[in-house]
Every structure is written in C-alpha cells, then in structure tokens.
Chains A and B, each alone.
Chain A
Amino acid sequence: EVQLVESGGGLVHPGGSLRLSCEASGFSLNSYPMNWVRQGPGKGLEWVSHISTTRNTIYYADSVKGRFTVSRDSARNSVNLQMNSLRVEDTAVYYCARAGPYMDVWGQGTTVTVSS
C-alpha cells in the first residue's frame, strides 16, 4: 500500500525548533518531488515547501522562508522539515504530500503547537 507517515510534531515554545519527518512506504520517495502543506486550526490549506527529486529545486512560502529547511534522506526513504524560530502562527497540522506533480498521496498529518 502506498502510504506517507509524518512524525515529529509536538508542543514547542515560541523561538524553539522542531524537525518533522515524512516516511514513505509502498513507493520510492526518492522518485517523486515532495511538498509540505499545513493547516492552522479551523483554517484552510497553506502550501509550505517543495523539494525536487534531485534537491536542485527547493521552494518555500514567504511565511517560512529563512526559518524552515526541507531536505531528503535517501537512505530512510524520507523527507524532513527542519523548523526553527517557530512562531505562534506556525501552529498547524503539517502534511507531507507526494507531488507527482499534483499531490496525489498525503500523510495523515502531524500537529505542531507553538505556545508559551
């Protein structure tokens, strides 16, 4: 079964850091571009980041640029999102999604709460 599973969410203070991971099963994540998308409480979807298969192309939303870093771990068939300098407004469910080129496979999401 084709599946994505996110992990690494939790409660963090403003200014803190978290590292999210997205692991794939049933397919090689290395063969697909990947996106991170988030959804704040009661809000709509917000695209966060994109990484190409070769890592040559990486994009970020302006709201996270300079604070978040997306990367691949080929050995673990995973994609990571390093989130630094977290703000209250980063509180959301974070989804990883396969971008082939549209987001046809999504994880169940991991919740990040930024609060003092």
Chain B
Amino acid sequence: DAGVIQSPRHEVTEMGQEVTLRCKPISGHDYLFWYRQTMMRGLELLIYFNNNVPIDDSGMPEDRFSAKMPNASFSTLKIQPSEPRDSAVYFCASSFVLTSTDTQYFGPGTRLTVL
C-alpha cells in the first residue's frame, strides 16, 4: 500500500492568499483526520471524517479554515485568507475503524509557510 498521500509537500504563499492542502487516505480506511503541528502548540487535531462525513470540527481554529471530503479517496483542507500564524506542518492521517486501540497512519505532511 502507498500509505497516506499528501500534496503539496511544501507550500509558500503570501498573506491573504488561498491555500488548499490535499490528502488521499489509505484505501479501505473509513476515518480521515487533519492535524496541525507547530512548535508552540504541538500536534493538534483539527477535524475528522467518517465515511466522508465531518464528525468533529471542534479543533478548526477559525472560519478561515474549511475541510471537505467529496469521496472516500480524497480530502482537502482550505485556508482562505491565509495568515502568517497559519504557518505550520499539516498532517493528514487515516484509520480503518475508530476504536480505542486502532492505529492512525500519518501522511508525510505539508509544510506551509505564509509570508
């Protein structure tokens, strides 16, 4: 299996621009998670989906952030407009089920820099 795929791997943009991050989960995994990692706040869960439906978006920081999952093999995280404080590494992860012991597999991440 190819694992979780994310694109782009690096993104540099200017403040005010729209940014779209993409994720392809592992085939057959029903759950997809978006995380953000910064030095100050560590690794934070932003939102997760079950069977393409957003279940919990309580971690989404502001209305500037939105996420969609139009089908089982694709999800996007969009920031509009972007701000310098959005600079972080954004990880997508997927899991087969959502039990107390199920493993989440992380993608390689997208390093976002907002100037």
Please say whether chains A and B are actual partners in one complex: no
List B residues at the A interface (Cβ < 8 Å).
none
List A residues at the B interface (Cβ < 8 Å).
none
